[in-house]
Chain A
Amino acid sequence: MLTSPYTKTVRPLDPRLLRYAHAARRFLLVGALLGLAQTLVVIAFAWLLTRAITFTVAGEPLRTIAPTLVALAGVVVLRSVLIWLLEVAANRGAAKVKSQLRAKVIARLAERGPDWVASRQSARLSTVVTTGLDALDNYFARYLPQLLLTMIATPILIIVILSQDLISGLIVIVVIPLIPLFMILIGRVTQSVQQEQWQALQRLSTGFLDVVGGLGTLKIYGRERRQFDRIRSITEEYRTRTMKVLRVSFLSGFVLELAASLSVAIIAVSIGLRLIDGALLLGVGLFVLLLAPEVFLPVRQVGAQFHAAADGLAAAEELFAILDDETTPEISQADAVAHTVQLGVGALLLNGVSVRRGDTLVIDHLHAEFAPGQLSVLRGVSGVGKSTLVAALLGFVPFTGTLTLDGVTVPAGATRGWLAWAGQRPGLFRGTVAENVALGAASVDSTGPDHRLVVQSLRWAGAAEVSPATVLGVNGEGLSGGQAQRVAAARAIYRALATDCHVLILDEPSSALDSDAEAGLLVGLRHLADQGRVVIVVSHRAAVAAAADNVIELQELAHV
């Protein structure tokens, strides 16, 4: 009902829609043809109806009128078919355009890489790509066809009316431009009223959610009964403020309807007066009177559907912003090169590695050596840049300095065939635990998860009690936080074992674990190190540091 302030930037038809979605062009063509046919049918209907009525008034017998009636019936059927076809075309167009836009955006996100995506709200992004795009349905089904009709039918109908009766035609020509003019003026006023109210409305519209969501807390403090008054006053204020906005924004509908019906009234009166003088024939007058409302119909529909369309275009706008973003990515996943290393050979060496986040230097000339066969722990206070360093090692974030593995320099954007990793967030998927643990590795040889290896990985991650057959929901739902964390660690271990990865990095793998589970994981990590791997654990836990061969402290940079 209320649209956000950014709708003012919406153009009636965004050229980018045509550029990014070929299906939209096709729909415009088909829609234009159908719109033209509909206009002709409208004219034919009005003409035949006028003819039948003038015959009737002239007292002609039914036999004379019958052919006209039959033709009229044909036109009625044709009109229905055209209405049906236009809706079908609009819906098909919407489905194809959504699919095309979705594919383009996701391909772009994949190309831009995780770090770029992480800098945006991921939930927001996925909503825009899925349900946000559904807002385009109304844009295609209701708005675009009417926009096409406005552009096709309005001029044709005006010409027809002009050719029949100059005065009525002139009335229409004068009134039609007033509609967009008033719409813009009222839109401006609405905008300013909305902007005044926007913040308050945003807060009030979530006020009820705030009370319901906090009900547990309120009950703990015995305050639940007092909320009735609060809900009432929030909702009352919401009503008064919303109505203030609506009273203004409904004016645009009022003007639309008034312009349309008043000009029909003016045309009717003017025709009537000239009929008395005998200056006009009934047939002409009636024909013009029937066509006059049809001139205004598409314009009125465009106005009425404008909000639905604005929502759709606002969603598309966000996608276009992603597709239009031409800034060269610092790291492109597209040109990543594979680089593999033999297991159990050299060390992972960081030589003067610096990492920037925007303008901030997070890691400054770090020198570190992670030797094979050793369990190394990376430590440092919160915010010191441990996870940033891990992201750089993963190739998600650019760095300066050199990173060498077994003496070979590793470029920033390369694929890490030699690296297995588990992040702070488990990042599990819908499917069985076994499928999650064998992620990626299974798709290489497509034989499915290696059951023995899955069990071993889970055991080494200290998650022996989690059954590989357990089925997880979206985002790994169905496991407790600690279990999910260990399954994620098992996934990294599986990759290390299955593809002989030389380096294993775990970021805070035990933050949600109790000490028993943590001890289990540490035993597993020791096995992996003993096989000759470089094992790096980012952790602040004392037990982890105690089990390590090598503890590297990251120092906080003094920022001026």
Chain B
Amino acid sequence: MSEATLHPHTRDVLRLAQPRPRWFVPGLLAGIGSAVMAVALVACSAWLITVAAEMPSLAVLGLAVVGVRAFAIFRSVFRYLERVSSHDAAFRQLAELRLGMFRRIVPIAPAGLASTGRGDLLTRLVRDVDDLQDLPLRVVQPLLVAGITALLSVVGIWLIVPAAGLTLLVCLLLAGILGTLFSGTLSARADRELAPLRGALADEVLEIIENLDVLTAFDALTPRLEHLARTDARLRQATLRRSVGIGVQSAVVALFAGAATLGALYFGVPALDSGGGLLSPVLLGPTVIVAVLVPMAVFEVFGMIPLAGSAWRQVRVSATRVADIVPAVVPGEIPVDVVDPLTLFAPDRAIGPVVLELTDLGARWPGQHEPGVAGVTLRLAPGDRVHLAGPSGAGKTTLAQTLVRFLDYTGSYRLNGVEARLLAQSEVRRVVGLCEQRPWLFDDSIRQNLLFARDTATDAELEAVLARVGLIEWSRARGGLDAPVGERGALVSGGQAQRIALARALLADFPVLIVDEPTANVDSAGADALVRDILTAAADAHRAVLLISHTPVPDELVTARVTLPARAEGAT
């Protein structure tokens, strides 16, 4: 469980997940309070009845009676406070954790996350970040609570019967070390053996269910199902083989719990025999009983530790994944702003027309050896509408991502004669806009999805731009600007999403607008109309438009055509 084996980046990620002491300590104290009360309840009630058996006066017992009741109540109260307070701390830290991760993601997104470009992996990343909350809740807190309570109990028993205290200490250590060791090696082996089988099974199931039509139409279902049954059987066999090791940890803990009780009994008897010691004879019998019964209560608290161990393994996996996906250093293929960037237009001045010139431009995705696009020479002047075509894999999207400076470039890329790498990325993006292949719609209203392109726009302006992209009827039918678009635009079709994205770009009024494969996720019948509408709406004497599309575009809509040559297979 040592942090020494962790990669430093993973450790940085973990550090972000641990709440600051001010938030964490109250929950920790309540947790220790609850655990100590649980042990004290057992000690006090054992003491109460053994003292009572010696038939003393009621007054002697009075304190114990109060103690037993108080411990019983405060144990639960503290436990409740612990849970509320530690969850609150973990959630407070979640904001810091998310911001810390976001700070790292901002400079590299979206191209630096391209290896994780699939939507589900992004979801995975975000879930991993959120799962790091388990570090304080399920790892640090239980370890500290169980550890401190166990230590206090050992000291307490050592004061009564020193040998029993030492036995308890040894048993706790052995149970902790052996238990963790067993479960650690077992789960490591399980991950090695079972994880690939689980993955294979999940993939096969997904393929069968998603492609049931294909398999049925090609009479290929029966062999697939037989293959799946074999994979399932292999996973089942491996799980059954492993199951023998599963309960070992709990068994080990139970064994040492019993050993501690036996040890206390064994050493407690001579302590009673000798009859001497610091304590008066009247109190001696009852205190020895306490020493015998307390280990049981301690081991109940100690039961948290194995659970913390398995939580730790999960947290570590999440942290490693997060550290892998979000590199601590920006990869070389992603641009970083120069120290004193030039400006094209003063911040307080309006943006004028822009001429974009590319000479022998090339770009590469992080982690790829071959350039995604190379040798592009192109000039875009205000009023131009250029159709960029090319076979799939030719690097059309790579070019689009390069022009908005998500990817760094080789060769030359000039805006009004100024080399783009000498400008701040934000300055380039003030003048070069992009409608992405999969435009992201935020889970909010149509209005909010438009406003962030120009937050000063009035409703009338928003409606005007919706009319330009052919969405006004549609938005009115759905209740106007306040209509929701759904999570990830779930309530909007592919074509409508493209039109909203175009409306955004028109609001931002970029002098150069790149539209990347607007028809990629559009019903093929609607594709031609969409391309026509986009080029008509974006046409402007002051604007240059670069339309990337595999759909044929009518001649009258464009001023020029460029075709990227085919490239090696497998390029993005």
Contact = CB atoms under 8 A, between A and B. Distances in A.
Interface stretch (A147-155, A270-278, A447-455, A528-536): A270-278
Given A103-B229, A222-B430, A80 B254 contact: yes
Nearest to B285: A57
Nearest to A246: B87
Interface in A368-386: 381-382
B463 interface: no
B570 interface: yes
B271 to A, nearest CB: 9
A144 B527 CA distance: 55
Contact of B250 (A83, A113, A211): A83
Q: Which of the four size classes fits the interface of chain B? A: 35 or more
B126 interface: yes
A84 B436 contact: no
B434 A220 contact: yes
A360 interface: no
A341 interface: no
A73 B244 CA distance: 24
A527 to B, nearest CB: 21
A232 B288 contact: no
A227 B270 CA distance: 70
B65 to A, nearest CB: 5
B550 A482 contact: yes
Interface in B185-241: 198, 201-203, 205-221, 223, 225, 228-229, 232-233, 235-236, 239-240
Given A81-B251, A208-B126, A482 B207 contact: no
Nearest to B510: A220
A110 B225 contact: yes
B273 A76 contact: no
B49 A92 contact: no
A103 B232 contact: yes
Interface residues of A, number: 150
A56 B527 contact: no
B319 to A, nearest CB: 17
Contact of B49 (A69, A109, A275): A275
Nearest to A290: B293
Interface string A48-84: 0100110011010110010001001101110111011
Interface string A106-131: 11011001100110001101100111
B170 interface: no
Contacts of A49: 261, 265, 292
Interface stretch (A156-164, A178-186, A465-473): A465-473
Contact of A216 (B216, B262, B270, B436): B436
B247 A272 contact: no
A134 to B, nearest CB: 8
Interface string B240-280: 10011011101110110011011001101110110000000
A62 B272 CA distance: 10
Contact of B45 (A114, A207, A264): A264
A186 to B, nearest CB: 12
B479 interface: no
B474 interface: no
A323 interface: no
Interface in A300-352: 333
Contacts of A440: 215, 218-220
A492 to B, nearest CB: 9
Given A56-B268, A73-B262, A222-B430, A239 B439 contact: no
A30 interface: no
Contacts of A470: 569
Given A96-B236, A515-B552, A219 B98 contact: no
A29 interface: no
B442 A265 contact: no
Contacts of B228: 106
B95 A239 contact: yes
Contacts of A113: 212, 216
Interface in A13-53: 45, 49, 52-53
Interface string B120-135: 0011011001100000
Interface string B528-572: 100000000000000000000010100000000000001001100
Given A83-B251, A214-B440, A276-B61, A53 B289 contact: yes
Given A218-B452, A242-B91, A126 B126 contact: no
Contact of A217 (B215, B239, B436, B566): B436
A223 interface: yes
Contacts of A290: 293
B239 A91 contact: yes
A457 interface: no
A341 to B, nearest CB: 15
Shortest Cβ-Cβ A-B pairs, 6 listed? A76-B258, A87-B247, A440-B218, A216-B110, A268-B45, A480-B392
11 contacts: A62-B270, A76-B259, A114-B213, A130-B201, A214-B440, A215-B109, A220-B434, A222-B430, A246-B84, A275-B53, A483-B392
Interface of A: 45, 49, 52-53, 56-57, 59, 61-62, 65, 69, 72-73, 75-77, 79-81, 83-88, 91-92, 95-96, 98-99, 102-103, 106-107, 109-110, 113-114, 117-118, 122-123, 125-126, 129-131, 141, 203, 205-225, 227-228, 231-232, 235-236, 238-239, 242-243, 246-247, 250-251, 253-254, 257-258, 261-262, 264-265, 268-269, 271-273, 275-276, 278, 281-282, 285-286, 289-290, 333, 381-382, 394, 396, 415-417, 419, 421, 423, 427, 429-430, 439-441, 443-444, 465-467, 470, 474-475, 478, 480-483, 491, 495, 508, 511-517, 539-541
Given A125-B209, A220-B434, 8 more contacts: A56-B268, A65-B265, A84-B250, A92-B239, A118-B212, A215-B106, A254-B80, A478-B570
